[in-house]
Chain A
Amino acid sequence: MGDSSEAKRVRNLLAARDAALNLNLDLSRRDVLKIAGYGSLAAFIAACGGNNTTTTTGITAKGGTMSLGSYNTDPNSKKGTQAIVDAFKAANGGTNVKLNVVDHGTFQNQISSYLQGTPEDAFTWFSGHRMRFFADKGLATPIDDVWDAVKSNYTAGFEASIKGNDGKAYAIPTDYYPWAVFYRKDVWSQHGYTVPTNWDAFKALCVKMKADGLIPIAFADKDGWPAQGTFDILNLRLNGYDFHTELLTGKQKWTDQRVTNVYKKWSEITPYYSPAFAGLTWEQGADQLLRKQAGMYLLGLFVSDEFKASGSAADLEQLDFFAFPDMGTQYDAEKALDAPIDVYMLTKKSPTLQADLGQAKAFMEFVAKGSTQVLYWQNAPGSIPTANDADTSTYPALTKKAVQIVSQAKKITQYFDRDSRPDYSGPNGMQGFLLKFLSNPKQDTTSLQGQMQAFWDSLPPE
């Protein structure tokens, strides 16, 4: 055992989070309680079993070759992936991993063609709607045998996140990160700001920051997707998890008055956004926070990668965050937030998969280990390991807090573009609509909402 009490604390948090996670599945309260029981049990077993949960079984093979398609192209995550591959080669009898790194956006855009063509054996992907879609289309290989070998290393919430609609396991979750409001501790203590817990305090803080010469809220939407994070959290706070997931899957209408309310509330904070935000990339937004020009930034934990990239450890230490403030509705209690999970999967049509299946499965087992995930996290601190046996003793305060905020959330979403269909969330869909809204937030959104619904209705059945 030999766990430090700190590690135990974080593990308990993981178990608690598990009790709350229900990852896009419509679970009844009893199901959640059941999962809570399993989850704590799994954590308990993992805690007692130590690191023996990922021993090699009969389904894996050493040596040989395998191939991996990766979309991790940011310098940090690229280094992390390479570190995993190198460690796997050393641990698995010198398996030669052919690594094919493709630009993140390109990989995502061509995923359909990629999976139907001649893909690598294994690939990096997201959990949620996007994983289940390709599993349904028969383009991913189920890995129940691997999952059975490693599942004691995971909480039930993660297990739910990698199950296809057919109940089979299709992926190994390796990391996740929460979305929250980030700020610099030194800037805040200099001006004497305190964390706002409700909407009015949040807006009052914006006014104060503006008077102090800061950009209250860094906002950067050139890429189109960052605005969806704000839509997610506002809709979750105002209308609740159930309405949000139903809206994103077409079971509710975009013309609903509740959606109008989201835009109304949103327009109350847009005056405090970065000027020229439609021309800024998220990295440039992070830079405004880093350079003490902006006071707050609603983004994923990956913003810390940008702070790490600045090369100054002092900057990273100043980074802190708080959960999006309450909006005064019944849904505040859900404490819902976006916490996307990244996974590894096996393709179906890889020409080498039959020959490399043992090695590919060994790789899937390998990435399910906490030690592997920590290796990745050391390179990309914005990605928190998912395995129970991950050594949490080296987590800095920021990561511990991130684990905590997710564990307190009663509902977790995967992010707009992972919870909805890609044709709807893409640049010519919701990304464009949100930019249109943001170009004039005070507008009457009736016609815009009509366009959103008309676009949804035009899409062919998935």
Chain B
Amino acid sequence: MANTTTRVAPARTQKAPEAGALVNRRKRRYTLLTRHDKILIALMVGIPLTLDLLLVWGPTLASVGLSFTNWQNIGPITGKNFVGFKNYQFMFSGYTLFWPAFTHNLIWLAWLTLIATPLGMFLAVLLDREMRGTRFYQSVFFLPVVLSLVVVGFIWDLQFAPTDGFINNALGTAKSSNLIDWLGNPRINLFSILIATSWRHIGYIMILYLAGLKSVDPSLREAARVDGATEVQTFFGVVLPVMAPINVIIVVITAIEALRAFDIAFITNQGKNGLELLSILIYNNSISEASLVGFGSAIAVILLLISLVPIVAFLSRVMRTLA
């Protein structure tokens, strides 16, 4: 995705001085390019494009191809391995984990969008008010972001442990006969790890949003205040619209975080018993000892199709603003 935007950007800056120029002049301009320029452009476009095709779209198409086989990561792929749409058919009808995993990804997305991200934005707005100890709070909330989700998983694993974990001991439920099984009860464990994820996600969103808020021209707020707008009105009427580019990034990041959710659920219990996610199904089927590469690829193709929705939405928006 990053590649695509960088490839677009230089092309635009080349055209920018030409704005309003006649079409025939523009044609002439290209012919005026020296040999050196042409080679340079070819290299600048060619190298990222080749890498992109080789490292992103090559494996992607390979996955699509593999999704029609029952290959098990051993030996060559022969005609016998091709099974048509059997993998997809089983995934949607017989495989009992696909729809739960799909639902869990949706819950993940909803949680991040409706709870974690707004909380991060809220903290950013609070910290932007130049209160005492802002830098201290900033550091505290940002601290989890420097940890990988694997480490976050380990930390919260210890907190959530049924008998010797901090949370049950603090709540006094560790000794009682019906102690709360935060990570083992399939009805609540998804929310337990969502809390752990949010612990990190909130800080991430906060720092991004804070950077955006700092760049808002203070005179806009002053003008709003002079006009008698309240704090809330100023935020929703002035600051939020000005922050539109940042908002788009926040939304995209949230969507991507929800789709690529993997590490924390995997660290917790390898993504079973209520923590199934699409990414984990891909892993457990194709990369694990199971080696069902064909079936795992079919799930990967579905995840790709879902991922394309926010990506295309984001790209089309970026293209539109550039055009």
A residues neighboring B (CB under 8 Å): 108-113, 116, 137, 139, 221-224, 275-280, 284, 287-288, 422-423, 426-429, 431-432, 435-436, 439, 451, 454-455, 458-462
Cβ distance B156 to chain A, nearest Cβ, rounded Å: 12
Given A137-B75, A280-B184, A426-B290, A435 contacting B160 (CB threshold 8 A) = no
Given A109-B287, A431-B272, A454-B94, A279 contacting B73 (CB threshold 8 A) = no
In the bound complex, CA of A110 to CA of B288 (Å)? 6
Contact A224 B272, beta carbon cutoff 8 Å? yes
Q: Which of A221, A224, A422, A436 contacts B290 (CB 8 A)?
A: A422
Q: Which residues of B contact A279 (CB under 8 A)?
A: 160-162, 181-185, 189
Residue among B72, B75, B294 with max Cβ neighbours from chain A (10 Å): B72
Q: Which residues of B contact A116 (CB under 8 A)?
A: 73-74
Contact A278 B181, beta carbon cutoff 8 Å? yes
Given A112-B73, A426-B284, A426-B288, A222 contacting B163 (CB threshold 8 A) = no
In the bound complex, CA of A422 to CA of B285 (Å)? 10
Contact B291 A435, beta carbon cutoff 8 Å? no
In residues 169-190 of chain B, which contact A (Cβ within 8 Å)?
177-186, 189
The reply on B125 being an interface residue by CB < 8 A is no
Contact A275 B179, beta carbon cutoff 8 Å? yes
Cβ distance B154 to chain A, nearest Cβ, rounded Å: 12
In the bound complex, CA of A152 to CA of B181 (Å)? 52
Residue among B97, B162, B189 with max Cβ neighbours from chain A (10 Å): B162
Q: Which 7 A-B pairs have the closest CB atoms?
A: A278-B184, A279-B184, A423-B290, A276-B181, A460-B70, A276-B162, A422-B289
Contact B183 A427, beta carbon cutoff 8 Å? no
What are 24 A-B residue pairs whose CB atoms fall within 8 Å in the complex?
A112-B73, A112-B289, A116-B73, A137-B74, A139-B74, A223-B269, A224-B269, A275-B177, A276-B185, A278-B183, A278-B273, A279-B183, A284-B162, A284-B163, A423-B285, A423-B292, A427-B272, A435-B272, A435-B273, A454-B96, A455-B94, A455-B95, A455-B96, A458-B95
Contact A113 B73, beta carbon cutoff 8 Å? yes
Q: Which residues of B contact A451 (CB under 8 A)?
A: 96
In the bound complex, CA of A462 to CA of B74 (Å)? 10
Cβ distance A56 to chain B, nearest Cβ, rounded Å: 35
The reply on B52 being an interface residue by CB < 8 A is no
Q: Which residues of A contact B294 (CB under 8 A)?
A: 460
Contact B186 A423, beta carbon cutoff 8 Å? no
Q: Which residues of A contact B213 (CB under 8 A)?
A: none
In the bound complex, CA of A108 to CA of B96 (Å)? 25
Number of B interface residues, CB 8 Å? 44
Number of A-B residue pairs, CB cutoff 8 Å, is 125
> What is the chain A residue whose CB lies nearest that of B288?
A109
Contact A428 B281, beta carbon cutoff 8 Å? yes
Residue among A108, A116, A429 with max Cβ neighbours from chain B (10 Å): A429
Given A222-B183, A284-B163, A459 contacting B273 (CB threshold 8 A) = no
Q: Which residues of B contact A460 (CB under 8 A)?
A: 70, 72, 83, 292, 294
Residue among B70, B73, B179, B269 with max Cβ neighbours from chain A (10 Å): B269
Contact B288 A458, beta carbon cutoff 8 Å? no
Q: Which residues of A contact B74 (CB under 8 A)?
A: 112, 116, 137, 139
The reply on B270 being an interface residue by CB < 8 A is yes
In the bound complex, CA of A109 to CA of B294 (Å)? 17
In the bound complex, CA of A220 to CA of B63 (Å)? 37
> What is the chain A residue whose CB lies nearest that of B292?
A423
Contact B284 A428, beta carbon cutoff 8 Å? yes
Given A276-B163, A279-B162, A426 contacting B185 (CB threshold 8 A) = no
The reply on B164 being an interface residue by CB < 8 A is yes
Residue among A139, A422, A428, A431 with max Cβ neighbours from chain B (10 Å): A428
Q: Which residues of A contact B137 (CB under 8 A)?
A: none
Q: Which residues of B contact A110 (CB under 8 A)?
A: 287, 289
In residues 89-124 of chain B, which contact A (Cβ within 8 Å)?
90, 94-97
Contact B269 A222, beta carbon cutoff 8 Å? yes
Residue among A108, A139, A224, A423 with max Cβ neighbours from chain B (10 Å): A423
In the bound complex, CA of A455 to CA of B95 (Å)? 7
In the bound complex, CA of A66 to CA of B161 (Å)? 42
The reply on B203 being an interface residue by CB < 8 A is no
A288-B163, A423-B292 provided; 9 other pairs, C-beta below 8 A?
Answer: A222-B183, A277-B181, A279-B161, A423-B289, A423-B290, A426-B290, A427-B269, A439-B185, A455-B94
In residues 260-276 of chain B, which contact A (Cβ within 8 Å)?
269-273, 276
Contact B160 A428, beta carbon cutoff 8 Å? no
> What is the chain B residue whose CB lies nearest that of A281?
B161
In the bound complex, CA of A223 to CA of B90 (Å)? 26
